[in-house]
Homo-oligomer: A and B are copies of this chain.
Amino acid sequence: MSGIHERARDAFAAIQDRICEALETLDGRKKFIEDRWEHRADGAADGGGRSRVLAGGNVFEKAGVNLADVRGRLSERLAARLEVPPQLFEATGVSLVVHPLSPMVPTVHMNVRHIQLLGEQGDGHGPSWFGGGADLTPHYLFEEDARDFHRVLRDVCGRHEVGDYPAFKRWCDEYFHLGHRGEARGIGGIFFDYLKQSPEETLAFVEDVGNGFLPAYLPIVERRMALPWWDRQRHWQLLRRGRYVEFNLVHDRGTLFGLETGGRTESILMSLPPLVRWDYDAKPEPDSPEAALMDVLLNPREWIG
């Protein structure tokens, strides 16, 4: 096991601790439940993780923060996509999705990860890389929130040689796109993958992304959590959560990578919202707040100059 992989894992564990503590404190009602699990596949596969879920809170209807460090075998399809021979790998990461109760508070996702290829026998060292990002999925648009979220992420990128906000912002818009809907999942953020150069500097950068999550998200929650909402806003939130499910199950490489490599299904699908609706051909009324959200999802913007 490489030194960098172990250090990444330890850094991700600390990030999970810090985030869970802060979300619990803000929620004030429910605590995270932790589930430690082991990863079992064929003989050479092992590892495990700790999944933490807070459900039915005052502020958070479902928040899942997952830490994993697993070894497994690339499927042929994945190996082909990565343009490497089939082989063993190890992967560690922390991944979270927060579904707030209030439709006025945005859903958020953050992930940082390190992948190390290990060769056909699992004893060698192939390429390794970091990936990750953070993106915001509001049900109602507050431009101030979108700008602030992006500003924090831009500042994180700005502190590191390897951080390239304009490129990672564009990558995020491209990645979190529902092709079959022609819609963005949310108002974006940053996304990056296959960062292979300068592992030391990149680890410092992804740690900073993980630690940037709280300052990027919590002020938005605090601003919006006391706003009133009614059935109409809740209904719209559940429909938008349907799009979240569609993205994660049809398009998300991370989800499909996990399911294909024999990852732990309950931990991978922790990202799915607690309650979701699909109505046939639901469309917002013209000039409504719902239509204002759709406008930025259909026409992604630059949020900061």
Check A194 for interface membership: any CB of B closer than 8 A.
Answer: no
Q: Decide yes or no whether A10 CB sits under 8 A from chain B.
A: no
Q: Do A35 and B281 contact each other (CB < 8 Å), given the known contacts A180-B259, A265-B180? A: yes
CA distance A275 to B245 in the complex (A): 13
Chain B residues with CB under 8 Å of A279's CB are 55, 274
- Contact status B249-A266, CB under 8 Å: no
Chain B CB count within 10 A is highest, among A51, A180, A273, for A180
| In the assembled complex, A246 has its CB within 8 A of some CB on chain B | yes
Asked if A218 lies at the interface with its beta carbon under 8 angstroms from chain B, I say no
Chain A interface residue count, CB cutoff 8 Å, equals: 32
| A272 and B242 contact, CB distance less than 8 A | yes
B181 touches A265 (CB 8 A): yes
Copies per complex? Answer: 2
Most chain-B CB neighbours within 10 Å: which of A238, A277, A281? A281
Contact partner, A278, options B179, B273, B281, Cβ 8 Å: B273
For A266, give the chain B residue with the smallest CB separation. B281
Q: Chain B nearest CB: distance from A28 CB in Å?
A: 20
- Select which of B53, B55, B273, B280 is within 8 A of A266 by beta carbon: B280
Q: Mark A232-255, 1 if CB is under 8 A from B, else 0.
A: 000000100010011001100000
Which of chain B's residues has its CB closest to A247's CB?
A: B249
Chain A 37-77 interface mask (CB, 8 Å, partner B; 1/0): 00000000000000101010000001010000000000000
9 example contacts (A-B, Cβ-Cβ < 8 A) are as follows: A35-B280, A179-B259, A180-B265, A245-B245, A245-B276, A266-B281, A273-B278, A275-B276, A276-B277
